[in-house]
Amino acid sequence: MIYIHIPFCRTFCTYCGFYSEQLCRNRELPESYAEALGREYALRKQGLPDSPDTLYIGGGTPSVLPLSVLGSIVQSVSCRGDGLHEYREFTVEVNPDDIVAGGQEYVGALLSLGVNRISMGVQSFDDGILGWMNRRHDAAEAVEAFSILRRSGVRNISLDLIFGIGLMTDALWQDTLDRVLGLPGGPPEHISAYQLSVEQGSALEKLVRTGRYREPDDEFCCRQYDMLCSALRGAGYRHYEVSNFALPGHEAVHNSAYWSGSPYLGLGPGAHSYTVTDGRHVRSWNRPSVRDYVRAYSAGRNREADTGIRGQEVLTEDQVKMERIMLSLRTDTGISEAVLRQDGSPGGTDRMIAEGNLVRLPGGFVRIPEDKFFISDSIIAEIV
């Protein structure tokens, strides 16, 4: 599987801590960046299977790129002698205002590139909350963007939502949930919902530090998480990972591979990769600088050119075991009880089962029950 990071945004959201740069008037930078991505892929693709089955283009905001630039990126990592490689799942992240501006013609162009899944950052259907987040769309545009995707034939849409915002009452949160499930053309096939967190370097961090925003308590956030779970369960969604819900058959293939510990290649500044070679589990990452990245992968640089912008760590056997436990217990399929007893803390499995924080599944597996997902981090900490 391949992840491509697009580190450009028109504006920055209040809560965001991901690496991104404001898209400037220099139209040559995105084109130079696309060329650099192609060169990085050419140097590093040897670590991939012959036919990677997922491609995920995230950001940042991929939909701010001109279609010609996005097309060249896709072609550079997908082109074969007989045409573009077909991915089992090809996701592109978009903003609602970009979809409204481009209309069905833009969405059709995405589909022609092979995109078969759209992930759209909506976050809320309340204009006041959206304004506080510094989002570029309002609630009406989010609905219109969803309608455009449906009219264009997109049948696998994921929406991002955020809960646990101190300014958002339970009534406002319930209204967002109701509006999501009542969208024209049927509700989205997938929903990712995250509790608002204070990320280092974000505008929200500064608001907290200066006393202009107070984080809500755990009781508030837990109540809104319970509302989320209840609403989506009633609408037929499978709660297959702590933050992710899908209508049957629409679980994210790409993200599910992360949680199962599958290797992946991340391209672009700030992107992470995970490889397993000859028993060595290696996590690597590109340092977050567009200009350093473009310089490192400029035409004529040799194979060693990328060493100056990449870091890596080799995981120990214990780290590999702990990550397998932590990732598996975030899902509804859980982990083998035998593996958990072998690799987890002594007595931790028995204690968590006795307290109802773990339940047994058929086939010898155990999982954290949905009503304890909100405190999954503390449960996992007791086991590892």
**Using one digit for the tens of pLDDT, what is the confidence trace for 247-291?**
999 999 999 999 998 999 999 999 999 988 888 999 999 999 998
Query: Given a cut of 90, is residue 80 above it in pLDDT?
Result: no
What is the distance between the alpha carbons of residues 58 and 202, in angstroms, rounded to a whole number?
Answer: 18
> Quick one: average pLDDT of 167-181?
97
Give the model's pLDDT for residue 82: 54
Task: Give the CA angle between residues 97, 98, 101 to the nearest 5°.
Answer: 85
What residue spans in the chain does CATH classification 3.80.30.20 cover?
Answer: 2-259
| 21 vs 112 pLDDT, higher one | 112
CB-based burial, 304-314: b 16+ in 10 Å, e otherwise: ebbeebbeeee
The pLDDT value recorded for residue 24 is 61
At 11-39, the pLDDT tens digits run 889 998 777 787 765 567 889 999 999 99
Pick the residue with more confidence: 300 or 241?
241
pLDDT of 85 reads 78
Domain 2-259 has CATH 3.40.50.2300: no
Q: How far apart are CA 246 and CA 253, in angstroms?
A: 11
**Residue 81 pLDDT class (50, 70, 90 cuts):** low
AA letter at 359:
V
**What was the pLDDT predicted at 45?**
85
Predicted local confidence at residue 62, as pLDDT: 95
Pick from 335, 361, 332: nearest CA to 348: 335
* Cβ count within 10 A of residue 352: 23
What's the pLDDT score for residue 265? 94
Q: Of residues 332 and 82, which shows the higher confidence score? A: 332
What pLDDT is recorded for position 342? 95
- DSSP assignment, residue 1? -
DSSP element (H, E) containing 275: strand 272-277
Average pLDDT over residues 92-109: 98
Residue in this structure with the two tokens 């995970």, named with its chain if needed: 274
Rounded Cα distance between 67 and 69, Å, is 5
Question: What mean pLDDT is predicted for residues 209-228?
Answer: 96
- Write the pLDDT tens digit of every residue in 37-77: 999 998 888 767 667 899 999 998 999 999 999 999 999 88
Kindly report the pTM of this predicted structure: 0.94
| Predicted pLDDT at 300 | 56
pLDDT (tens digit, 9 = 90+) per residue, 297-345?
Answer: 886 554 545 556 789 999 999 999 999 999 999 999 999 999 999 999 9
CB-hemisphere CA count at 13 Å for 260? Answer: 12
pLDDT of residue 25: 55
For the cut 60, the answer to whether the pLDDT of residue 358 exceeds it is yes
Distances in whole angstroms, Cα of residue 243 to Cα of each of 195, 196, 210, 290, 324: 9, 12, 29, 30, 18
Alpha-carbon span 383 to 337, nearest angstrom: 12
Q: How many CB atoms lie within 10 A of CB 368?
A: 26
Q: What is the pLDDT of residue 317?
A: 95
pLDDT of residue 304: 46
Say yes or no to pLDDT of 244 above 80. Answer: yes
